[in-house]
């Protein structure tokens, strides 16, 4: 009897270890890809920081606006992963290709609308954030170039999402390294005028971003074509695009399906971006130093949640494929394992931010006022890490199951009921020190964890198996 129990324990442990290994093998390249993306942004901050406080503020305002477009494009990718993973799990390759094509169509529509607004009314958009007139004039050319790059980024991110739906995160990691290298080189040359190039300042940073995204899209197209010849459903042709748009009305339903799954994620990203923009506006009352500190802090925040997003990406793919294959029990196990791994890694991140907040703050700015405002934000990031990691992973599980509504509700409650109101009360009603405004982000992530965690534990998300209707 004891031998039987021991044998059963070994059988139980081995699959768990296998699941952990599989999740980690997909998560770490996704994390490294995100690190590359954020390192590029941090390098930009460091480079532009040498151009003065006004230019740094202009970069912050323009980046916040374009982040709204970028997050909507990420939402299209989330819908792409959910639908493609289900199709792949159900062994329906042609449907996976149709979803990929439809996602590219939707992403280009979103990015095109953003570019149109940036070309027609850039100053009006920046004035909504209370940007000073001289800052607006510095920001406009960069704003337009950055928005134009979103057309390229949108298509590239869909291909990246298609690779992830196929459990391939090493391809995106390789592309991220290439894009990072190109972006860094172009930024140094064009911002400061090295190697005989003109000194373009902030405009040079925008041109570098545009060029790097062009290289990234070309790399993804090359990878997708190579893999498609090996039987991986990760490519499509113009015939598929025409079928979606004009030739076959029944195929246009795939576009509607991508939009339907992506819409709650778009709503989530829209709420988050608008809340962050409002948060940004509230910070204006603390002066330009606070704005510059927030511009740096947002990049460090993006870097800090990399592990959570990495495990969320892995969980979404594994859960989607498991449900597509009709294995809801495996989907639940994967959800618990991914969440536990994310929590452990994010707790380690919390320790880093807690004890290195002062050195990190001074590593990214030589302005003592900006560093003084940034250090307490780093403290709040440390406190928020465990909550962030857990709700990110849970959100990935739910999205992989096709539930994009719950993460949207979590973001809406966290941002609109906690982060923005608390920041407004601290800043405009109580006149509290800036550190209190930073603390509002902790309550945001706690609320999102409560909502995502409750829905996850109820388990209804795993009851619908097969390909999403």
Query: How far, in Å, CA of 403 to CA of 400, rounded?
Result: 7
Which pLDDT score is estimated for 236? Answer: 65
Task: Write out the DSSP string of 220-286.
Answer: HHHHHHHHHTTT-S----HHHHHIIIII-TTTHHHHHHHHHHHHHHHHHHHHHHHHHHHHHHHHGGG
Integer Cα distance of 106 and 213 in angstroms: 18
**Is 238 inside any structural domain?**
yes
Domain count, the chain: 1
Instruction: For residues 163 and 230, give the distance between their C-alpha atoms in angstroms, rounded to a whole number.
Output: 13
In-domain check, residue 6: no
Owning domain of residue 191 = 16-462
Is there a domain that residue 3 lies in? no
5 occurs within a structural domain: no
DSSP-assigned states of every residue in 16-82 = HHHHHHHHHHHHHHHHHHHHHHHHHHHHHHHHHGGG-HHHHHHHHHHHHHHHHHHHHHHHHHHHHHH
Strands (DSSP E) contained in 93-206 are none
Angle of helix 252-283 relative to helix 434-458, nearest 10 degrees? 150
Residue 97 CA to its chain's centroid (Å): 23
| Torsion 157-158-159-163 (CA) sign | positive
How many residues can be counted in the chain?
469
Q: Do the domain assignments include residue 4?
A: no
Q: How far is CA 53 from the centre of its chain?
A: 27
Inter-residue contact 38 to 305 (CB < 8 Å): no
405's CB contacts (< 8 A; 6+ apart) are 264
Q: For 440, how many CA atoms within 13 A lie in the half-sphere containing its CB? A: 28
State which H helix or E strand residue 352 sits in. Answer: helix 328-355
Q: What pLDDT score was predicted for residue 468?
A: 46
Please indicate, yes or no, if residue 179 is contained in any of the structural domains: yes
pLDDT tens string, the chain, 469 residues long: the values are: 334 334 334 344 447 777 788 888 888 888 888 777 777 777 777 788 777 778 888 888 888 788 888 888 988 888 888 888 888 888 877 788 888 888 998 999 999 999 999 899 888 888 887 777 888 888 889 999 999 999 999 999 999 998 988 888 888 889 989 998 999 899 889 888 888 778 888 888 889 999 999 999 999 988 888 877 776 667 666 666 666 665 555 555 777 788 888 888 888 877 877 787 787 778 777 777 777 777 777 667 766 777 888 888 888 888 888 888 888 888 888 889 899 888 888 888 888 777 776 676 666 666 667 777 777 777 888 888 889 889 999 999 998 888 888 999 999 999 889 988 998 898 888 888 777 888 888 899 999 999 999 999 988 887 754 444 4
For 4, other C-beta atoms within 10 Å of its C-beta total 8
What does the DSSP assignment read for 437-465?
HHHHHHHHHHHHHHHHHHHHHH-GGGS--
Rounded distance between C-alpha atoms, residue 204 and residue 195, angstroms: 14
The answer to the question of residue 405 being in a domain is yes
Residues 142/205, Cβ–Cβ less than 8 Å: yes
Task: Work out the end-to-end distance of the chain between its first and last CA atoms, rounded to an integer number of angstroms.
Answer: 48
Q: What local confidence, expressed as pLDDT, does residue 245 receive?
A: 63
Find where tokens 């995204």 sit: 213
110 in a domain, yes or no?
yes
For helices 133-165 and 53-89, give the axis angle rounded to 10 degrees.
Answer: 20
Q: Which residues contact 283 (CB under 8 A, 6 or more apart)?
A: 290, 291, 294, 427, 434, 437
| R_g (Cα) of the chain, nearest Å | 22
Tell me, what's the pLDDT at 7? 37
Residue at token pair 């609308």: 113
Within 10 A of 114 (CB to CB), how many other CB atoms are there?
A: 23
CA distances from 451 to 56, 178, 229, 409 (A): 36, 38, 43, 8
* pTM of this structure: 0.77
Both structure tokens of 361: 């703050």
């Amino acid at each position: 009897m004891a031998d039987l129990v021991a044998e059963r324990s070994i059988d139980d442990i081995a699959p768990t270890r296998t699941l952990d290994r599989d999740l980690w093998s997909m998560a770490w390249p996704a994390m490294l890809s995100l690190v590359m993306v954020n390192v590029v942004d941090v390098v930009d901050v460091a480079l532009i920081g040498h151009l003065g406080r006004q230019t740094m503020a202009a970069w912050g305002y323009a980046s916040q606006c374009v982040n709204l477009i970028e997050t909507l494009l990420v939402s299209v990718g989330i819908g792409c992963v959910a639908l493609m993973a289900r199709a792949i799990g159900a062994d329906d390759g042609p449907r996976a290709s149709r979803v990929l094509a439809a996602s590219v169509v939707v992403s280009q529509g979103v990015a095109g609308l953003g570019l149109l607004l940036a070309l027609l009314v850039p100053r009006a958009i920046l004035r909504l954030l209370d940007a000073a007139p001289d800052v607006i004039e510095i920001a406009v050319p960069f704003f337009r170039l950055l928005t134009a790059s979103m057309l390229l980024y949108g298509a590239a991110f869909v291909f990246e999402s298609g690779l992830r739906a196929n459990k391939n995160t090493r391809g995106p990691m390789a592309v991220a390294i290439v894009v990072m290298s190109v972006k860094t080189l172009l930024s140094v040359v064009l911002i400061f005028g090295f190697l005989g190039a003109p000194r373009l300042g902030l405009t040079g940073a925008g041109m570098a971003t545009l060029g790097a995204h062009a290289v990234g899209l070309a790399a993804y197209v090359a990878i997708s074509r190579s893999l498609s010849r090996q039987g991986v459903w990760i490519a499509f042709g113009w015939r598929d695009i025409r079928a979606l748009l004009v030739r076959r009305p029944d195929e246009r339903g795939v576009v509607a399906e991508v939009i339907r799954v992506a819409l709650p994620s778009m709503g989530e990203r829209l709420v988050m971006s608008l809340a962050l923009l409002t948060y940004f506006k509230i910070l204006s009352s603390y002066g330009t130093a606070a704005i510059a500190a927030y511009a740096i802090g947002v990049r460090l925040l993006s870097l800090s949640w990399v592990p959570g997003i990495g495990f969320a990406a892995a969980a979404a793919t594994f859960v989607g494929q498991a449900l597509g294959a009709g294995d809801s029990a495996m989907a639940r196990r994967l959800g618990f394992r991914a969440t536990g791994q994310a929590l452990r890694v994010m707790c380690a991140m919390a320790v880093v931010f807690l004890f290195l907040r002062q050195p990190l703050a001074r590593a990214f700015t030589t302005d003592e006022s900006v560093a003084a405002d940034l250090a307490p934000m780093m403290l709040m990031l440390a406190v928020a890490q465990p909550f962030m990691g857990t709700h990110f992973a849970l959100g990935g599980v739910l999205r992989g199951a096709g539930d994009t509504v719950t993460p949207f509700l979590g973001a809406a409650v966290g941002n609109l009921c906690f982060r923005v109101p608390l920041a407004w009360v601290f800043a405009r009603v109580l006149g509290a020190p800036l550190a209190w405004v930073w603390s509002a982000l902790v309550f945001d992530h706690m609320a999102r964890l409560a909502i995502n965690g409750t829905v996850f534990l109820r388990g209804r998300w795993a009851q619908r198996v097969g390909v999403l209707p």
